[in-house]
Amino acid sequence: MKLKFLGATGTVTGSKYLVTSGSKQVLVDCGLFQGYKQLRLRNRSIFPVPPSEISAVVLTHAHLDHSGYLPLLIKDGFRGKIYCSAATFDLCKILLPDSGHLQEEEANFANRHGYAKHSPALPLYSEADAVRALKFFAPVEFGTRFSVSEGIEAELSLGGHILGAAIVTLYCEGKTVVFSGDLGRQNDPVMVAPTPIANADYLVVESTYGDKRHDPADPLILLGQTIRETAARGGVTIIPSFAVGRAQSLLYDMFRLKERGEIAAYLPIYLNSPMAADATALYQKHLHQHRLSHEQCNAMRHAATIVNSVEESIALNERTVPMVIVAASGMATGGRVLHHLKAFASDPRNTILFAGFQAGGTRGAAMLEGVPAIKIHGEYVPVRAQVKQITNLSAHADADEILGWLGQFKTRPQRTFITHGEPAAADALRLRMQNELRWPCEVPGYLDEVDLT
């Protein structure tokens, strides 16, 4: 049995792990690379393994850095099944077509305005490609072993990161291989804690926050304070947000802030992401996977005005009154938030508030580093607005929480592979695991392959 790392090495994106047993190859996660250009170019490179030779895919969750390459994999010949939780399938039905649509939209915009480096600019895949990919999905229940391919079984356990997120255990050749996926927080106000895992022969664990501890301060207080101060200046608070997970938590937080009187009841809040609105509705369908009641889900859904059309989105940019706009994407790599940044980033009264991790090479990371301007649609936009980050709004476990989850194993794995983290974070987690847990662990590189024997 072999394990090959096709992504999420030296970066928090592009998650793909290939497990080979005999003639069978199973891919765990199939995500897009994001951030630095040299990473994004991998999305257009020939896939390291012929997709037609892959027997099946098992997804940990729906975020595009874990699922967004699937339409391309199928376009290039994959014909197996894609196993995931029912909630992940529901979210992929929203996320993947939207990803294809956005890529088509951005390519068309680049062609119309003549700033593309390639003529014509082409999307990685189309909305139609993404819709076709949905036919290959096979949702499964949490806590039930199922056959992935001949000689390989799997089981999903609640990961707590976002709706439907799973820890994946593969059973093969008498061994167990556990993939943490993205681990959630122990005491998240919305999502449940990640399921403890007792045993694994081999473990692949994420390290997004492997070198950090989340601020113990109440993020709700910091969020309310930022919104109040911005509104007092007559400004607009722009919150780039992941449409799935982060947007829903923000809506619930803003409902609570208004309920407590910590932000004005009349302050307009807009959710400029029809996709995020659709994802929010799924929280009522999958009540057992989070902490909210039916009534709280309903309040979350109505905490903001939904912006559906492009015309409504454009109209927001012409408003000069205090308001809050939550819009995708979370690291400002694309989507409608770019148009809001073009409109509002140059005004010092406004605030650009990041509510989660910003991968290197993204506009979000650049703005937090203090760049004077960011490039959007071929033009440089001055950044004079205040730029802030509330890191403890993250849906990722921090280093202490990762160590706490690992500490629940009854026996230590034979080998642990630390992935899905930038180099400093992955190495910091490696050192802590070696020093505190006395576990043998390593940080693999891109396309490394190891024998699991």
Please give the single-letter amino acid code of residue 313. Answer: S
Identify whether the C-beta of residue 354 lies closer than 8 Å to the C-beta of residue 364. yes
What mean pLDDT do residues 144-169 have?
97
Whether the predicted pLDDT of 9 surpasses 70? yes
What was the pLDDT predicted at 320?
A: 87
CA distance 207 to 227: 30
Which residue, 23, 22, 78, is CA-closest to 47? 78
Residue range(s) in the chain whose domain bears CATH number 3.40.50.10890 = 219-393
Whether the predicted pLDDT of 189 surpasses 70? yes
Which distant-in-sequence residues (6+ apart) come within 8 Å of 361 by Cβ? 34, 35, 36, 37, 39
Q: What angle do CA 388, 418, 35 make, to 5 degrees?
A: 40
What mean pLDDT do residues 133-149 have?
98
Q: According to the CATH classification, is domain 2-212+395-451 in 3.30.479.30? A: no
Which residue, 342, 337, 375, is CA-closest to 353? 337
What mean pLDDT do residues 398-407 have?
97
What was the pLDDT predicted at 116?
A: 65
CA distance 161 to 91: 14
What mean pLDDT do residues 345-353 have?
97
Residue 428 is given by DSSP the state: H
Whether the predicted pLDDT of 63 surpasses 90? yes
**Per-residue pLDDT tens over the stretch 24-52:** 999 999 999 998 899 999 999 999 999 99
**Which sign does the torsion angle of CA 170, 147, 162, 157 carry?**
negative
Q: CA-based Rg of the chain, rounded to a whole angstrom?
A: 21
CATH of domain 219-393: 3.40.50.10890
Which residue, 339, 364, 361, 134, is CA-closest to 246? 364
CA distance 27 to 58: 6
Annotate 357-377 with three-state secondary structure. Answer: CCCCCCHHHHHHCCCCEEEEC
What was the pLDDT predicted at 127?
A: 96
Q: Which helix (H) or strand (E) holds 21?
A: strand 17-21
Alpha helices in 233-360 (DSSP H): 246-260, 274-285, 294-301, 310-317, 337-344
183 vs 105, more confident: 183
Structure tokens at 447: 């396309």
What was the pLDDT predicted at 21?
A: 96
Averaged pLDDT score across all residues of the chain: 94
Which distant-in-sequence residues (6+ apart) come within 8 Å of 187 by Cβ? 193
Please give the single-letter amino acid code of residue 340. Answer: H
Least confident of 106-115, 339-348, 357-366: 106-115
Q: Hey, which bits of 216-268 come out as E strands? A: 236-240
Give the confidence band of 194 by pLDDT, cuts at 50, 70, 90: very high
What was the pLDDT predicted at 246?
A: 85
CA distance 380 to 373: 6
What mean pLDDT do residues 429-445 have?
97
Identify whether the C-beta of residue 243 lies closer than 8 Å to the C-beta of residue 328. yes
**Per-residue pLDDT tens over the stretch 86-119:** 999 999 999 999 899 888 988 888 888 777 677 7
Least confident of 65-69, 127-131, 272-276, 292-296: 272-276
Whether the predicted pLDDT of 290 surpasses 90? yes
Residue range(s) in the chain whose domain bears CATH number 3.60.15.10 = 2-212+395-451
Which residue, 136, 64, 92, 132, is CA-closest to 278? 92
